[in-house]
A and B are shown apart, each in its own frame.
Chain A
Amino acid sequence: MKVRVDPERCQGHTLCAMIAPGMFELDDFDGHSSPVDENVPAEHEAQVIQAVRSCPEQAISVTEGLA
Chain B
Amino acid sequence: MSDEASGGADRRKSRYQFDRHTSDYRDHFEAITAEMLAQCPLAWSDTYGGHWVAAGHREVFELARSAEYLSNDHDVHYERRGYQGITIPTPESMKFQAGFLEMDPPEQRYYRQALNPYLSPAAVARWAPVVTELTRACLDEKIETGQIDFVDDLANVVPAIMTLAMMGIPLAHWTIYCEPTHATVYTPPDSPDMLRLRDRQIEMYRDMFAQLTAIKEQPRPGLIDALARADINGRTPQDMELLGVMALIIGGGFDTTTALTAHALEWLGEHPDQRERLSRERASLLDSATEEFLRFYTPAPGDGRTISADCEIAGQRFQEGERLWLSWAMSNRDPAVFENPNQIDLARTGNRHHSFGLGIHRCIGSNVARMVFKQMIAAVLDRMPDYRCDPAGTVHYETIGVIQGMRHLPAAFTPGPRLGAGLDETIKAIQRACDEQRLAEPVTVRQAEAEIGR
Given contacts A15-B291, A50-B349, contact A28 B354 (CB under 8 A): no
A53 CB, min distance to chain B CBs, angstroms: 4
**For the complex, is B231 an interface residue (Cβ under 8 Å from A)?**
no
Encode B335-361 as 1/0 by CB contact (under 8 A) with A. Answer: 000000000000001111110101110
User: Roughly how many angstroms separate A15 CA and B350 CA in the complex, as a whole number?
Assistant: 10
**Is B116 in contact with chain A by the CB < 8 A criterion?**
yes
Contact (A57, B359) CB under 8 Å given A14-B367, A29-B444: yes
Say which residue of A15, A31, A54, A58 sits within 8 Å of B120 (CB atoms): A31
Take A29-B443, A54-B351 as given contacts and tell me if A12 and B362 are in contact as well, using a CB distance cutoff of 8 Å. Answer: yes
Residues 109 to 156 of chain B near chain A (Cβ within 8 Å): 112-113, 116-117, 120-123
State in angstroms the CA–CA spacing of A31 and B120 once bound together.
5
Closest to A50 in B: B349
- The verdict on B375 contacting chain A, using a C-beta distance below 8 Å, is no
Known: A28-B122, A31-B367, A50-B350. A57 touches B358 (CB 8 A): yes
Once A11-B359, A11-B360, A11-B362 are accepted as A-B contacts, the answer to whether A26 and B120 lie under 8 Å apart by CB is yes
Q: Which of B358-407 contact A (CB under 8 A)?
A: 358-360, 362, 366-367
Interface size on A, residues (CB 8 A): 22
Q: Is the CB of B443 within 8 A of A28?
A: yes
B287 contacts the other chain (CB 8 A): yes
Q: CB of B65 within 8 A of chain A?
A: yes
Known contacts A12-B362, A18-B287: does B120 contact A27 (CB below 8 Å)? yes
Q: In the complex, are the beta carbons of B117 and A29 less than 8 A apart? A: yes
- Known interface pairs A12-B362, A18-B287; A53-B349 also in contact (CB < 8 Å): yes
Contact among A9, A26, A53 for B121, CB-based, below 8 A: A26
Contacts of B443 in A (CB 8 A): 28-29
What count of chain B residues pass the 8 Å CB interface test?
Answer: 27
A28 and B120 form a contact (CB under 8 A):
yes
Assuming the contacts A14-B366, A54-B352, A55-B352, asked whether A29 and B359 have C-beta atoms less than 8 A apart, the reply is: no
Query: Which residues on the A side are within 8 Å of B367 (C-beta)?
Result: 14, 31
Within 8 A of B (CB), among A1-49: 9, 11-15, 17-19, 26-31
Residue of A nearest to B351 (CB): A54
Contacts A26-B122, A30-B116, A31-B121; is A11 near B352 (CB within 8 Å)? Answer: no
Q: Which of B319-339 contact A (CB under 8 A)?
A: none
Contact (Cβ within 8 A) A56 B353: yes
Q: Which residues of B contact A56 (CB under 8 A)?
A: 352-354, 356, 358
A13 and B366: CB pair below 8 A? yes
Give the residues in chain A near B61, CB-CB below 8 Å: 58
Q: Which of A18, A27, A53 contacts B350 (CB 8 A)?
A: A53
Query: In the complex, A53 Cα to B349 Cα: how many Å?
Result: 8
Q: Which residue of A lies closest to B287 (CB)?
A: A18
Q: Which of B112, B121, B359 has the most CB of A within 10 A?
A: B121
A residues apposed to B, CB below 8 Å: 9, 11-15, 17-19, 26-31, 50, 53-58
- Seen from chain B, the residues whose Cβ lies within 8 Å of a Cβ on chain A are 61, 65, 112-113, 116-117, 120-123, 287, 291, 349-354, 356, 358-360, 362, 366-367, 443-444
* Sample of 28 A–B contacts (CB below 8 Å): A11-B359, A11-B362, A12-B362, A13-B356, A13-B366, A14-B366, A14-B367, A18-B287, A19-B287, A28-B120, A28-B122, A28-B123, A28-B443, A29-B117, A29-B443, A30-B112, A30-B116, A31-B122, A50-B350, A53-B349, A53-B352, A54-B349, A54-B350, A54-B352, A56-B353, A56-B354, A57-B359, A58-B61
Closest 7 CB pairs of A and B: A53-B350, A11-B362, A30-B116, A28-B122, A31-B120, A31-B121, A29-B117
Q: Beyond A15-B291, A28-B120, A53-B350: 10 further Cβ-contacts under 8 Å? A: A9-B65, A11-B359, A11-B360, A15-B351, A17-B121, A26-B121, A26-B122, A54-B291, A56-B353, A57-B65
